[in-house]
Amino acid sequence: MDAPVGENPVAQSIAQAMIEGFNKHYRIFRETSRRAKESFEAADWQAQIDAVRERVQFYDERVDEAVRRLHEEFDADSLDDSTWQQLKLQYIGILMRHKQPELAETFFNSVCCKILHRTYFNNDYLFARPAVSTEYIESYPPVYSSYYPQDEGLRTTARRIIEDFDWQRPFADLDRDIDNILRAVHEHLGEWPDMEVNCQIQVLYSAFYRNKTAYIIGKAINGYQEYPFALAVRHNPAGRLEADTILLDPWRISVLFSLSRAYFLVDMEVPSGYVHFLRSIMPNKHRSELYTMLGLGKQGKTMFFRDLIAHLRHSNDQFIVAPGIRGLVMLVFTLPSYPYVFKIIKDVFGASKNMDRATVKRKYLMVKQVDRVGRLADTLEFSYAALPLSRFHPELLDELRALAPSSFEIEGDSVIIKHLYIERRMTPLNIYLERANDDQVEYAVREYGNAIRELATANIFPGDMLWKNFGVTRYGRVVFYDYDEIEYMTAMNFRRIPPAPYPEMEMAAEPWYSAGPMDVFPEEFATFLLGAPRVRKAFLKHHRDLLDAKFWQDVQASIRKGYLEDFFPYPTELRFCNMWSKKRGRADQAA
C-alpha cells in the first residue's frame, strides 16, 4: 500500500524527519549488536559488557535529537491539531514498508510525548495500540534458516548449522562436540523418532551473544512435534571454540531469557520475527520481556504497559501496599492479580538514608547497565503513568498523599504517577524465612550467600544486605531488588575492625573506630543479619567467610586484575565437560 497522499506538506516533512531519527537509532543499535560477533571471536569480553551498557543510552539520545530537530526546523510547539493528526497518518504510510514498524511507532510516541501536552496522549496523535502489523515482514538475511536432515543426516546437518555461523576462530574438536550434542539430544528424547517428510531444523540467523557465550537458538520440527534448543558455544581455556551444552527443555531456555540477567546482543533486521520465533519456543514468555531481553527495552516497556492496561480492564482487584517491611526510600505497591510491584521514590527518606532522589535514580540505572548475573531484578522505568483511580485502595492513597505527594497527581479518574519503577514481584526473603521449615531456611540462606558472592564477583556490592532487600523468585532463586545503596565493589574499602585500645570500649554504645563513607566492616554483618538461630546456623555453615574482610578484598583484587568470572545461566552439571566426564562415548550411531 502506498503512503496516504498528504495535503499537509509540513506533516509530511515532520514524518520524514521522525523516521530519519528512528532509522539512525536502529542503525547504531544494530551496529553495536553486530560487533558482538567480532568481540566474541576476539575474546574481548569487556567489549561485550561495554556494548550492553552503552546501548541502554542510545534510545534517549536519539529521541532528544529528534525533539530538538522538530523544535528547530518545525517550531513543534505551534503545530495545530490537524497537522498532528496528518503527521500520524503520514508516518503510518512510511511504516507500511518498514522492517521495524513497531519500534518506529514507539519512537514516534516517545518524541511526541516530549512535545505534546498529556491531554493529547490519545490514539488520534499517538500509537496507543499498533497501527502497522508486524506479521510476515520480509527480512534479509532471513530471520531463520532451515536445514533438512533427511537429505544429509543429522551429524552433517549439525555440523553445517554450526559452521554457518562462520566464527573466525577454530573449534577445538567439532566432531567431539557434535557427538556430545547428539548424545544429549538422544538422552533427552529417549529414542530417535522416524523422520517425517517435513523434518527440518530451523535456526535463528544471528547468534545470541552475552558475556563469554554465544547461543545458537532454534527448533527441530518433525511431523506435528517441535523440539526447541539453545546451544551454548564458548571458548575453552586454550582459546578454541567448544560447544558447552545444549538446552532442550523450554523452561531452561526461558531461564536464559530471565530479566535478572544481562540483555543479549543479537543482529536483527526484523526483530518482530525473532520475537515471534522465540515465542514459539517459549509461549509463556511475554513478548514485552523478549523485546527487553533483546536490548529493545523501550519496546518492552510499551508492550508491558499496554498489557497492564488490558489486564486492568479485565480484572477488578485493587492496588495495595506491598506486603513486607515498608521501605525507607521507596513506596512499594502491587496489584495482587498481576505479578509485578510498583515503586515510587518517596519525598522524604528515612533518617538513615543519606542520599537524594537523583542518586536513587542513578543506582537504578546502573542496574540496567551491568551484568545482573541472575541476581538483580530488572526494573522498567516509567514517567507519567496513568492508572485508574478507582483501583487504588484508600490505604494506599493515604500513603501516597503522606509519603510521595510530589510524585503523583489525580486528574479526573486517573492517578498520574510522575515517576515509577516496575519489577517482578517476589516473596521478600524475610517473609519467606519466617514461614520456612528448617530445610527451606538452609536452602534460602545458602542461596542468599551465593547471590552475594556472585554479585561481588560481578563487581556489585549490594550495600544494604538485609534479608528484606532480597526476594525469592518462582524458580526458588534469591534475587536482590533494593538498589539505593548499591555500589561497584571496587569503590568500597573493606576493613577489619581494629582491636579496641581498652577492653571496656567493646561494650560501649559508640564504636572506638571511625569509618569513612565507603568503609565496610564485614565482621559487623553478623550483628544485623544473624539474629535468628536457624538463620545463623545455616549462614555460618555455608558462608562464614563473607564475615571476613579478606573474602571481599580478594574479590576486589581479582576484579582489578581484569578477571571476568564465568556465570552460567544453566546448572554446571549440564555442561558437556561435566556430564560425561568419566565415560565420554560416541553418540548413538543411529544418528
Ligand X SMILES: Nc1ncnc2c1ncn2[C@@H]1O[C@H](COP(=O)(O)OP(=O)(O)OP(=O)(O)O)[C@@H](O)[C@H]1O
Looking at residues 342 to 361 of the shown chain, list those that interact with ligand X (rule: CB under 6 A). 343
Q: Which of 66, 132, 330, 445 binds ligand X (CB under 6 A)?
A: 330
Residue closer to ligand X, measured from CB, 14 or 377: 377
Largest distance between two CA atoms of the chain = 88
Of 320, 332, 318, 345, which is closest to residue 395 (Cα–Cα)?
A: 320
Do the bridges between strand 519-520 and strand 493-494 make them parallel or antiparallel, or are there none, so unpaired?
parallel
Of 200, 215, 204, 299, which is closest to residue 252 (Cα–Cα)?
A: 215
* Cross-strand pairs, 16: none
Q: Are 228 and 246 in contact (CB under 8 A)?
A: no
Q: What is the CA radius of gyration of the chain?
A: 26
Residue closer to ligand X, measured from CB, 116 or 341: 341
Q: Which of 468, 534, 536, 537 binds ligand X (CB under 6 A)?
A: 468
Residue closer to ligand X, measured from CB, 282 or 377: 377
User: Annotation-wise, does 456 bind a ligand?
Assistant: no
Q: Which of 273, 471, 522, 569 binds ligand X (CB under 6 A)?
A: 471
Q: How many residues bind ligand X (CB under 6 A)?
A: 23
Q: Which of 324, 357, 443, 450 binds ligand X (CB under 6 A)?
A: 324
Provide the strand spans (E) within 103-240. Answer: 144-147, 200-204, 208-210, 213-222, 225-235
Q: How far is the CB of 33 from ligand X (least distance, A)?
A: 29
Length of the chain: 591
Exposure string for 462-480, b = 16+ CB within 10 A, e = fewer:
bbbbebbbbbbbeeebbbb
Residue closer to ligand X, measured from CB, 179 or 485: 485
Q: Which of 332, 433, 559, 587 binds ligand X (CB under 6 A)?
A: 332
Q: How far is the CB of 410 from ligand X (least distance, A)?
A: 23
Mark the segment that binds ligand X (CB under 6 A) among 305-313, 324-332, 542-550, 556-564. Answer: 324-332
Q: How far is the CB of 340 from ligand X (least distance, A)?
A: 8
Q: What one-character DSSP code corresponds to residue 521?
A: -
User: Annotation-wise, does 396 bind a ligand?
Assistant: no
Q: How far is the CB of 334 from ligand X (least distance, A)?
A: 7
Give me the DSSP letters along 211-264. Answer: TTEEEEEEEEEETTEEEEEEEEEEE-TTS-EEEEEEE-SHHHHHHHT-TTSPPP
Looking at residues 484 to 513 of the shown chain, list those that interact with ligand X (rule: CB under 6 A). 484
User: How many alpha carbons lie under 13 Å from residue 137 in its C-beta half-sphere?
Assistant: 26
Looking at residues 512 to 531 of the shown chain, list those that interact with ligand X (rule: CB under 6 A). none
Residue closer to ligand X, measured from CB, 399 or 423: 423
Q: How far is the CB of 252 from ligand X (least distance, A)?
A: 23
Looking at residues 419 to 448 of the shown chain, list those that interact with ligand X (rule: CB under 6 A). 423-426, 428
Q: Which of 50, 173, 381, 464 binds ligand X (CB under 6 A)?
A: 464
User: Annotation-wise, does 324 bind a ligand?
Assistant: yes
Q: How far is the CB of 400 from ligand X (least distance, A)?
A: 15
Alpha helices in 314-459 (DSSP H): 357-369, 394-403, 429-435, 438-457
User: Annotation-wise, does 328 bind a ligand?
Assistant: yes
In this structure, what are the phi and psi dihedrals at residue 134, rounded to the nearest 5 degrees?
-105, 10
Cell output for 541 = 555453615
User: Annotation-wise, does 516 bind a ligand?
Assistant: no
Rule CB under 6 A: is residue 329 a binding residue for ligand X?
Answer: yes
Residue closer to ligand X, measured from CB, 118 or 474: 474
Query: Which one is catalytic: 378, 413, 548, 566?
Result: 378
Rule CB under 6 A: is residue 322 a binding residue for ligand X?
Answer: yes
Mark the segment that binds ligand X (CB under 6 A) among 169-177, 223-231, 302-310, 464-472. Answer: 464-472
- Inter-axis angle of helices 101-113 and 45-74, nearest 10: 60
Mark the segment that binds ligand X (CB under 6 A) among 56-64, 319-327, 402-410, 514-522. Answer: 319-327
Q: How far is the CB of 376 from ligand X (least distance, A)?
A: 11
Q: How far is the CB of 421 from ligand X (least distance, A)?
A: 9
Q: What one-character DSSP code corresponds to residue 96?
A: T
Cell output for 97 = 514498508
Rule CB under 6 A: is residue 381 a binding residue for ligand X?
Answer: no
Q: Is 50 a catalytic residue?
A: no
Coil, strand or helix at 406: helix
Residue closer to ligand X, measured from CB, 318 or 553: 318
Collect all residues with Cβ–Cβ distance below 8 Å to 572 and sequence separation of at least 6.
578
Rule CB under 6 A: is residue 325 a binding residue for ligand X?
Answer: yes
**CB atoms inside a 10 Å sphere around CB 103:** 23
Cα angle value 342/347/351 (rounded, 5°): 105
Rule CB under 6 A: is residue 574 a binding residue for ligand X?
Answer: no
Do the bridges between strand 340-345 and strand 414-424 make them parallel or antiparallel, or are there none, so unpaired?
antiparallel
Q: Which amino acid is at 9?
A: P
What are the residue numbers of the active site? 378
**Where along the sequence are the contacts to ligand X (CB under 6 A)?**
322, 324-325, 327-330, 332, 341, 343, 377, 423-426, 428, 464, 468-469, 471, 481-482, 484
Q: Which parts are annotated binding residues?
A: 322-328, 343
Q: Which parts are annotated binding residues for ATP?
A: 322-328, 343
